[in-house]
Amino acid sequence: MRRVLWHRWGAWALLGLVALLLMRGWWTSGVPMSPRRELLPEFAYAWLAREHLRQGLWLVDWSTYEFAGFPWLRYIPYPLYYGAAALSLLTGLSLEWAFRILFWVAFTLSGVGAFAFVRRLTGSDLGSLAAGAFYILVPFHAHITVEVFAHAVGWALVPWAFLAYERVRRRGNWWGAMALGAVLALFPLVSLEYTLLLSLFLAVYLLWREAEGVRGGRWPWWDSLAFLGGTGAVVAGLSAFVVVPGLLETSLVGIHAKHGSGAALHWELLREYAMPPQALLATLLRRLRVAWEVPLPTVYRSFSASAWYLGWIPLILSVVGVLQPPRRGLGWLVGLLALLGLVRASGPWLPGNVFLFLPAIGKLTPFRSLGLLAFFGAVLVGFGAAALVRRARGRRWGEALALGAVALMAAECYSPAASAFVSWPAYFSPAEQEAYAWVQAQEGDFRVWEFPQDHRDEYLFTYSLPAMPRPRFGGYFDNGAPLHMWNLAMASTYPPGALHPLTGPALRLYSTRFVLLRRDRAGYAEALAGLQDLGYEAAFENGEVAVLEGKDPLPYARWRAEAVLFVGEGDPLEVLPSCMERDLLPVHEEPGALGRWSAEALAHFRAVVVDEATVPEGARERLEAAAGERLQTLSAWKPGSAAGAGSGASLTWTRPGPTEVRVHVRAEADGWLEIAESWYPHWKVEVDARPARLLRTSVAFQGVWVPAGEHEVRFVYRWPGYMVGSLALSGAGWLVLLGGALWRWRREVGT
C-alpha cells in the first residue's frame, strides 16, 4: 500500500515540478506575458470581475467598459474570471500572481489527469508518468493555453472526463452516471468551444467502450442507454445556465457575423486557422536539419515554429503504443481518436474533410483540435512506455529503457514548450502611466480610445483599465459584442492602424472625448493629422504619449427633433454621416416587426425609408398605406434639409448601476432621446414609469420617442425568463448533486 501511495503521490509531485519548471519564464522578475500578448485581455476581464465583487455586483449581466456596453455573462468563461478575482481578493495577491498560480495548477492537473487515466488502463507507473509528462510538455499545449486561461483549464479537464468514465462505469451505477455528468458539466462553464470539440471524440470513446461492455456481458444494452441518457441529462441540467443563453443569443452578438455561416470570410478564416499535417511534418524535419518548404496557414506563422513541434521520441512511443496496447483493440481506438483530431485540425487543407460539414463543430477554429491530438498522443505515449516495461518482463533494463525514453522525451520537448512563458519588465512605461493618470483625473463622463497600430496593441491596451478605468471606444472582446455595435465597430476601426470613413461619426456617437496616440508607433503622423481633421486637438503630451481631446463629441444623452425610420435587414451604415450632418436621428427596424407600428407612430418620422432588397413587396404596400408620401426607398433616399438644432430639450442623466440609466427630460416639443449605450433586446425603457418602445438608433444605440413636457425616462436591463429559469435549474441541480454526495459520504463513513 505504501509503495502504491508513494508511486502515486511521488509521480504527482514530479509532474507538478515539471509544470513549475516549464513556467520558468514567469517566475523571474517582471510581469507575465505570452509571446503574442493575448494573455493581457485575460487580466482585463479578471479585473472587471474583481471590480464586480468589490462593488457587490455578483453576476451582473452588463459591462459598460467596451462596445458601449455588452452582455457580460455570455461567450466568456466568467466563472474562471470570478475565481481568479476571488483568489486575488482573498489572498491580497495581484492578478498577475493569481494567474501564475492558477496556470500552474491547470498544467499540473492536466499532467496528473493524463497520468491517472493511463494508470487506470495500464497499471504502469512509468507509462503513466510518460503520458503525464508529455501532456504537460507538448509545445502547442503551452503556446496555445498560455494565452487564454480557459484553454489551460479546458486542456486540464480533458483527461479527467475520460478517467471519470473509466472509474464509475459499472452496471446499475446511477451515482456514477451523476458523477460523470458533473465532470462533463464543467466543460460548458469553461468553454462552449471546448465542449463541442470534446463531445464528438468523447462520444466515439464512450460508444466503443459501451459496445465492448455489452458484447462482454458486463451490462445489457438497456443499461448502456440508461447510463448515457442519465449522464446527458445531468450535463444538460447542471450547465443550462451557461448553455441556454449561449445558444439562444448567438445570432445577437458579433461571433455570428465573424464566424457564422453567413460570414463572408467563413471558409477563408477556417483555412487560415487550420493546421495541415504537412506543416507539422515540416516542423519535425526541420529539427533534423531537413528543409521542406510547404504552404503555411496564418495561424502557423502567428506563433513561433517551435510551437508546432510534436517530438520524434513521442511519435516513436505512440507507434509502439498503437501496436502494443494494454488491452486488445484499445491502441487502435486511441490511435483512431488521435487521427480524428489531426483530421479536424487540418480543416479545408484536407480535401473532402467531413468535419467541415458537421453542424456547429464544422464552424469552430480547426487548429484547436490539436489539443485532442495531444491528449490521445499522450495516452499512446503512455501505452508505448508501458509496453517497454512489459516486454522486459520485470527485468530492470526494461524500466531503465522506459525511464530513459521519458527523460529524453522531456528534454526534447522542454525548450520549445517553455518558450511560451515570457516576462516583461512592465506592461506600461512611466510616460504611459502619466498619460493614463492625466486622463483619469479629467472630470465628466466620456469614453477613451487608445489608437492601435495592430492587434497586438489591442491586446495590450485592454489592461490599461486598472490605471484608467474609463469606458472605451470599441473593444477587444468582439465575439460577445452586440451584433449591430460589432458591425459599427468593425466598419470604423478595422483593420487597425488607420482611420476609416466611419471613424469620425462613430467617435462622436460613442461620446469619445480623448484619444491616446503613441509616438513610437508606425503611422503616428498620419493618425495625428486625421484626428485633427476630425476636430481633435492636443490636450496633453509627455514626449511618448499624445492625448487629443475632441471638441464636439456628442453627450451620453442627446436630443433630436426629427428622425427617419429605416426598414430592412442589416445595418445601413452609409446613412450615418448624412443623418448626423443634418441632425436627424436614424431609427432602424426589422421587416418582420412592422406589424407593431401603427399609422400614428409612423407619423412621428420625417420619412420612412425601405430597403427594397430585403423588405417584401406586401410589407412595402402596407407601409405605403400607413406612411403615404413619406415612404421612400433606400436607393433613392435623399436626407433633405437639416433638422432643428436639437436644443429644444434639457437633459440630465444618472446611472445608478451598470444595468440602469435614468434621464430627466424637459422638452419644448415632441422629440427623440438617444443614449450612447449599445442596443440589446434585454434592455427596456419606461417613460414616466410606463413601458415605451425601445428603438435601435444610429445603427447600434438606444433611443425612445418622448412627447413634449417634463418626463422621467428609465432604461433598464432585465434578465430574460430563460436566463432566470436556466440559472434556477442549474443551481438546484448542483445543490441536489452536492447534497447527495454528502449524504452518500456520511453513509459510507457510518458504515
**pLDDT at 7 (0 to 100):** 60
My answer on whether 174 and 136 are in the same domain is: yes
Say if 606 falls within a structural domain.
Answer: yes
Residue 320 sits in the same domain as residue 220: yes
Residue 724 placed within a domain:
no
pLDDT of residue 394: 62
Please check whether residue 416 lies inside any domain of the structure: yes
> Is the bond preceding 495 in cis, omega lying within 30 degrees of 0?
yes
Strand segments (E) across 455-498: none
Amino acid at residue number 270: L
Round to whole Å and give the CA distance between 695 and 310: 54
Intervals of the chain under pLDDT 50: 1-6, 261-265, 646
Per-residue model confidence (pLDDT) at position 636: 85
111, 157 contact by CB (below 8 A): no
Do 411 and 270 belong to one domain? yes
Same domain, 331 and 463: no
Q: What's the domain count of the chain?
A: 4
Same domain, 101 and 209: yes
Residue 59 lies in a domain: no
Domain final position from 515, 550, 585: 550
Clarify whether residues 170 and 212 are in a common domain. yes
What is the domain range of residue 228?
Answer: 2-33+94-422
Q: Are residues 196 and 98 in the same domain?
A: yes
| Angle between helices 192-215 and 330-346 in degrees, nearest 10 | 150
| Residue 40 covered by a domain | no
Check whether residue 358 and residue 445 sit in a common domain.
Answer: no
Domain boundary residue, one of 608, 636, 664 = 636
Distance CA 280, CA 314 (A): 14
Read off the pTM: 0.92
The reply to whether 584 falls in a domain is yes
Do residues 603 and 492 share a domain? no
Distance between CA atoms of residues 676 and 483, nearest Å: 16
Same domain, 566 and 511: no
Name the grid cell of 65.
Answer: 467598459
> 138 and 208, same structural domain?
yes
Residue 57 lies in a domain: no
The pLDDT assigned to 89 comes to 96
In a domain? residue 60: no
pLDDT of residue 4: 39
- The CATH number of the domain holding residue 624 is 3.40.50.10700
The domain spanning residue 666 has which CATH number? 2.60.40
At residue 10, the pLDDT reads: 83
Q: How far is the C-alpha of 573 from the C-alpha of 48, rounded, in Å? A: 31
Pair 605, 580 in one domain: yes
Domain boundary among 530, 550, 570: 550
Number of H helices, E strands in the chain: 28, 21
